[in-house]
Structure 1
Amino acid sequence: MNFTTAVKTCFRKYVDWNGRALRSEYWYFYLFVILGVIVTSILDAATGLFIFTGLFYLAILLPMLFVTVRRLHDVGRSGWWMLISIIPLAGLILLYWMIIEGDKGDNAYGPHPLGGVGDVSDTFS
Structure 2
Amino acid sequence: MDWYLAVLKNYVGFSGRARRTEFWMYTLFNSLATLVLYVAGMAIDTMVPYFLYSVATFLPSLAVAFRRLHDTGRPAWWLLLGFVPFVGGIILIVFLASEGQEEANRYGANPKAVPAA
Give the TM-score normalised by the residue count of structure 1.
Answer: 0.85
TM-superposition CA deviations, 1:54-97 (whole Å, max 9, x none): 11111110000010000000000001110111111122221111
Question: Corresponding residue for 2:110?
Answer: 112
After superposition, what is the alpha-carbon deviation per residue over 1:33-54, rounded to whole angstroms, capped at 9, x for unaligned? 1111121012212321221111
Give the TM-score normalised by structure 2: 0.90
Specify every segment of 5 or more residues in structure 1 that has no aligned partner in the other structure, as ranges: 120-125
The list of structure 1 runs, each at least 4 consecutive aligned residues, that deviate by more than 4 angstroms after superposition, is none
Alignment: residue pair count: 115
| Cα distance between partner residues in 2 of 1:114 and 1:8 | 18
Aligned pairs for 1:41-120 (under 5 A) are: 41-88=38-85, 89-115=87-113
Give the distance between the partners of 2:44 and 2:22, measured in 1 at CA: 33
Q: Which has the higher helix share?
A: 2
Cα 1:42–1:81 shift into 2, 3 Å: same
Question: Alpha carbon RMSD of aligned pairs, Å?
Answer: 1.7
Aligned sequence identity (%): 34
Report the residue type matching 1:62 in the other structure.
L
SS of structure 2 residue aligned to 1:94: helix
Instruction: Give 2:96's aligned amino acid.
Output: M
